[in-house]
Chains A and B, each alone.
Chain A
């Protein structure tokens, strides 16, 4: 259990980075278009005032309940 003040929100973890040579429209979508989800949302957080790891968090944006936490390359084993 860590204080939430140790963590900083990073970004939406659902975004798929385009290939390097992908059309500029794809990059535009990647950078500027976000879903504003009411409910569970996969996102990256930074343990900025701690071990400085980046982690992946599934969080309910309405209640702030955290359903799952893992490393950036991990995914929940079952659909949550």
Chain B
């Protein structure tokens, strides 16, 4: 093909410069990248996915299979853009893709040659699955990188996307999907009711197939109607027109998802559209004919070639051959011939309608009936085609001959765009007359009209649209209006006689973008694939970014031929959104970087920041991880903080804990059912450690519960489980035991919390809050006291996570920073320091306490050596199934301590525990490492882990293997209580 500008079409006069692979080219306002490249005579735009076959422009719309380009560079680089959908702007950088060094001289095209020599084996369906299986280790080191380099589309950008995207909730009474003649009519008629209408059109211009019609003064009567329809809609205050906006999904409750390209300050919008009624006027997509080399540059869908001519003013070639099995492609022949272009029509039907035959004769168009194109020939683009006569049974061919041409326009019929209608789960039914699938039962509040409903005639399609608009408005209590009809009808009668493939050999592309051929489909059939869903996944047919818009019906028909069954019985794959590529940016909207998710701050956050804390994200919180002094690393800092707490005193922000108040006369009964241990016997002003199980008998969560009054408890949960525990309590109260008089409410945000731990913690607090008695007699271990500091109410629990004497101070959130600063001030003479999450972890591992790393949802009470805690005097959630034989198995991995034999060697969390250092770790696992730290007190790396029969193996030396990094460490099995095993310190 050597295309050239032949007229103005609907474009503006202004010309500007863009570049293609660095070469300067001119474009006109209104050009797409595809039309501009054609106007500059560019034939080969890129190379194909698998075989690196040369590819050019195959269409003028969203169904584009060949002209995929990369736009821009650096952070704004965007790969795999359909050139037919992207408007050209001044200075736009366009790049070919998937070729090296250039699209016309591409070294990877050897794939195509190799494949040609060994048909049906190399690179055909299932090739990767079958050829690169063994040895397994070769896959990610050798095969996958090599395949990835050769196959695929474009390179992605390496930098963060600098552009803005928005998510928008849009509301309307009537959503019209598609801005062709039917969509325009539905919108015009609906708009007169005064209802809010949104019209979605994925192209830049409204009009749909009307844009294929000539816009000039002589033949431009339809253009006048199109223009006035657009002007009326733009003037209507209740109508929103969204062009370059694809509706890509239809969801429950009349919700549509739409993706709008703006390229302004905001680059793209994601609309969540809440519609009262939906009118789908999404049109139809022309299907290719399936013959050898039907993917060669210069082979173009017939209506698209016509759109290039009439809308963009581009003749896509000098000599045209039209290959068709229906009436519609004749319009392309007529319009090209009218521009003086030599035209031959090859019609596979023996008897096309007489009026078309007569029109060809009148206009000097050669017509070959009962003929087929067997093959397109040419190195980069079409230069010749091989024709033949088709026998009457359609199975053999005679009289082969070669004809020169540089543009082959083909039409295998039209496929209604039923995706949106089918998203509700409706199964499309094959329709013999239009030779495509239609949805016969639409969801409520939804109509499908025009070519999307298989109605290709202009007037009939508009009548469907007007009926839908009238019914939609009626149901909404309003009245749709009349519209002016176009000055003449366009006959949409196709008289199609399907020819699903030309019965000849060669690379007949079915899914052009994914390089799937008829041979691939036949091979899948021979290998026993009978389901279309499997065919799709095995051959990757329909899985490219055009979602097989042009390919699916042809593929199903070919499969049906193979299986000797009907197309209906073969069925379609299920339609799922999105129907077109949507950028990740549009989904994410503004939720990027620091706006990715909200940040929860504790009342002491500002203090931590002032004090130079290094933070770590834990859920939505940013928790102080450590407070480095000048020159300190993380390791230096947490070792120092840990040592300091053991020897002196430290303070830690623990506001992150979940806090729940449980109130009511039945609160004690309720908590006895929730926890494995007794809470009803807990005296007022005492705290108790509790564990809850899930119904399946595994450990759910742990925490401390305080009894504030006979009917009032204050529960803490782990940070991670705070919200799910609350939902669990609410579920139990409302569904299981509605008779219990109990209320639960989250008070997590109401209380600031801090832990003061270390031998000097009592003196620190006594100094800070003189009115409260911190003596052991007044406030013993697990005791609770309420007091005041300058009218600020404090709740103080004497509990310990570190194993040292420690207190948890709870105070109203507004006073958190005041109390924190008071403690820091009063503790100065005892050398108080703040400590972070890292040393909190080190302290609790030294003490052998479990956290989320151990309570991972897969451990039982026995696994964490706490089965003795479970009360036998009452029933509790999880009691029944914790008795399962499998969970009682004494060989289950149990919680143990692990100590590096060489104290300087760390033990990686996640390591597998094995007895023999020389065995394959994964196959001989006897447990795993759940947490590790350096213990300043023991001057050694230590860890917690789970080991089969672990309690009977203290003193044994085993190995912690980390196969990913090929590390193995000798460790001694010890008690999980590394420090103060008699638990005396906390009671001091």
Contact = CB atoms under 8 A, between A and B. Distances in A.
Contacts of A64: 252-253
Given A31-B696, A52-B730, A54-B734, A20 B252 contact: no
Nearest to B879: A20
Given A17-B736, A24-B884, A46-B727, A63 B424 contact: yes
B730 A28 contact: no
A17 B734 CA distance: 14
A55 to B, nearest CB: 9
Nearest to A47: B730
Given A52-B730, A63-B252, A63-B425, A72 B735 contact: yes
B730 A27 contact: no
Contacts of A24: 880-881, 883-884
A31 B734 contact: no
Interface residues of A, number: 25
A22 B880 CA distance: 9
Interface in A22-72: 22, 24, 27-28, 30-32, 44, 46, 48, 52-54, 62-64, 71-72
Interface string B876-889: 00001101100000
A64 B425 CA distance: 11
B884 A28 contact: yes
A10 interface: yes
A68 to B, nearest CB: 17
B867 interface: no
B695 interface: yes
A53 B881 contact: no
B727 A31 contact: no
A22 B879 CA distance: 12
A17 to B, nearest CB: 7
Contacts of B425: 62-63
B496 to A, nearest CB: 34
Given A20-B875, A20-B880, A31 B730 contact: no
Given A24-B883, A31-B695, A62-B425, A72 B875 contact: no
A30 B723 CA distance: 25
Most chain A CB within a 10 A radius of its CB, from B696, B734, B880: B880
Contacts of B424: 63
A10 B730 CA distance: 11
Interface centre among A54, A63, A64 (most CB of B within 10 A): A54
A24 B731 CA distance: 23
Interface string B858-893: 000000000000000001000011011000000000
B880 A72 contact: no
B474 to A, nearest CB: 23
Contacts of A72: 734-735, 738
Nearest to B731: A54
Contacts of B252: 63-64
A18 B879 CA distance: 13
Contacts of A30: 695
Interface string B709-731: 00000000000000100010011
A53 B734 contact: yes
A23 B736 CA distance: 19
Nearest to A13: B735
Contacts of A62: 425
Contacts of B731: 10, 44, 46, 54
Given A20-B875, A31-B696, A62-B425, A44 B735 contact: yes
A53 B252 CA distance: 24
A41 to B, nearest CB: 15
A73 B695 contact: no
A38 B696 CA distance: 26
Nearest to A17: B736
B198 to A, nearest CB: 20
A73 B734 CA distance: 8
A71 to B, nearest CB: 8
Nearest to B736: A17
A24 B884 CA distance: 7
Nearest to A72: B735
A31 B881 contact: yes
Contacts of A53: 734
Contacts of A73: 738
A24 B696 CA distance: 11
Identify the interface centre among A4, A31, A44, A73: most chain B CB within 10 Å of its CB: A31
A46 B730 contact: yes
Contacts of B253: 4, 64
Contact of A28 (B734, B736, B881): B881
Contacts of A63: 252, 424-425
Interface string B231-259: 00000000000000000000011000000
B749 to A, nearest CB: 15
B600 to A, nearest CB: 16
A27 B881 contact: yes
Contacts of B883: 24
A17 B253 CA distance: 34
B735 A54 contact: yes
A52 to B, nearest CB: 6
Contacts of A20: 875, 880
Contacts of B738: 72-73
Contacts of A46: 727, 730-731
A11 to B, nearest CB: 8
Interface string B670-706: 0000000000000000000000000110000000000
Interface string A1-15: 000100010100000
Nearest to A53: B734
A6 to B, nearest CB: 13
B877 to A, nearest CB: 11
A4 B723 CA distance: 19
A19 B875 CA distance: 11
Interface in B420-442: 424-425
Nearest to B738: A73
A31 B424 CA distance: 32
A9 to B, nearest CB: 11
A46 B726 CA distance: 11
Contacts of A32: 696
A8 B723 CA distance: 12
A38 to B, nearest CB: 11
Contacts of A54: 730-731, 734-735
Nearest to B735: A72
A5 to B, nearest CB: 11
Nearest to A22: B880
Interface in B234-289: 252-253
B880 A27 contact: yes
Contacts of A10: 731
B98 to A, nearest CB: 40
Contacts of B735: 44, 54, 72
Contacts of A22: 880
Nearest to B695: A31
Interface in B393-408: none
A27 B883 CA distance: 11
Contact of A48 (B727, B734, B736, B884): B727
A22 B875 CA distance: 12
Contacts of B695: 30-31
Contacts of A48: 723, 727
Interface string B16-27: 000000000000
Nearest to B744: A52
A10 B252 CA distance: 20
20 contacts: A4-B253, A20-B875, A20-B880, A22-B880, A24-B880, A24-B884, A27-B881, A30-B695, A31-B695, A32-B696, A44-B735, A46-B727, A46-B730, A48-B727, A52-B727, A54-B735, A63-B252, A63-B424, A64-B253, A72-B738
Given A17-B736, A20-B880, A31-B695, 4 more contacts: A27-B881, A28-B884, A30-B695, A54-B735
Interface of B: 252-253, 424-425, 695-696, 723, 727, 730-731, 734-736, 738, 875, 880-881, 883-884
Q: Which 4 A-B pairs have the closest CB atoms?
A: A27-B880, A54-B734, A72-B735, A64-B252
